């Protein structure tokens, strides 16, 4: 199985830490949207798309990258998000990203949403939330998630 993770991680590097753990398990390159050519994605059996959550949405760089993808028959994908708070039921940003990828032609096989140190907007006033996250337990969850993907997708390749 050939994998790549397209990741935007700008504030504290939370998403990159998680993506790097997953990348080691999946033997995947971890790149920013600007570091990969859209046409190159067709060469991969599995593509991860991830970012931290900003104002209850994925980072604009990742959203623009996905919006620019042509509609075609892509292979499998997964979605990775990190944030200080869980996804609220009234703003399903992970589901929105999954739908957008499916509309582009990906088969989204799973999603991962982990906690990360967050100093966005009002949280900055109190020194941030989820300090020290992602921690060892969070990274272990990411590792187990990636191992599960490798088992499921690798067996199907």
Q: pLDDT tens for residues 107-151? A: 999 999 887 656 566 655 555 546 665 788 888 999 999 999 999
> Which range scores top for mean pLDDT: 2-11, 23-32, 84-93?
23-32
Give the HSE-up count for residue 131: Cα atoms under 13 Å, Cβ half-sphere: 5
pLDDT at 129: 47
**For 29-136, where are the E strands, in sequence order?**
29-31, 46-52, 76-83, 107-115
Q: Report how far apart, in Å, the C-alpha atoms of 134 and of each of 32, 38, 68, 113, 122 are.
A: 20, 29, 30, 11, 20
CATH number of the domain at 139, please.
3.40.50.360
- Interval 25-54 mean pLDDT: 94
Helix (H) or strand (E) holding 7: strand 3-8
Range(s) of the domain holding residue 31: 3-156
Number of domains in the chain: 1
Residue keyed to tokens 């990636």: 146
Rounded Cα distance between 150 and 46, Å, is 9
**Could you read off the pLDDT of 62-121 as tens digits, one per residue?**
999 999 999 998 999 999 998 766 566 667 888 999 999 999 999 999 999 887 656 566
**Per-residue pLDDT at 73:** 86
């Amino acid at each position: 199985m050939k994998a790549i993770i397209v990741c935007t991680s700008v504030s504290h590097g939370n998403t990159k830490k998680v993506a790097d753990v997953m990348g080691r398990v999946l033997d995947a390159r971890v790149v920013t949207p600007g570091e990969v050519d859209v046409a190159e994605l067709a060469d991969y059996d599995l593509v991860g798309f991830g970012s931290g959550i900003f104002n209850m949405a994925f980072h604009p760089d990742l959203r623009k990258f996905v919006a620019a993808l042509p509609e075609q028959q892509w292979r499998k994908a997964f979605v990775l998000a990190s944030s200080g708070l869980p996804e609220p039921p009234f703003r399903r940003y992970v589901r929105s990203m999954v739908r957008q990828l499916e509309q582009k032609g990906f088969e989204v096989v799973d999603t991962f949403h982990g906690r990360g140190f967050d100093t966005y907007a009002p949280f900055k006033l109190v020194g941030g939330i989820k300090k020290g996250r992602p921690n060892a337990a969070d990274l272990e969850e990411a590792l187990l998630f990636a191992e599960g993907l490798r088992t499921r997708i690798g067996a199907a390749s």
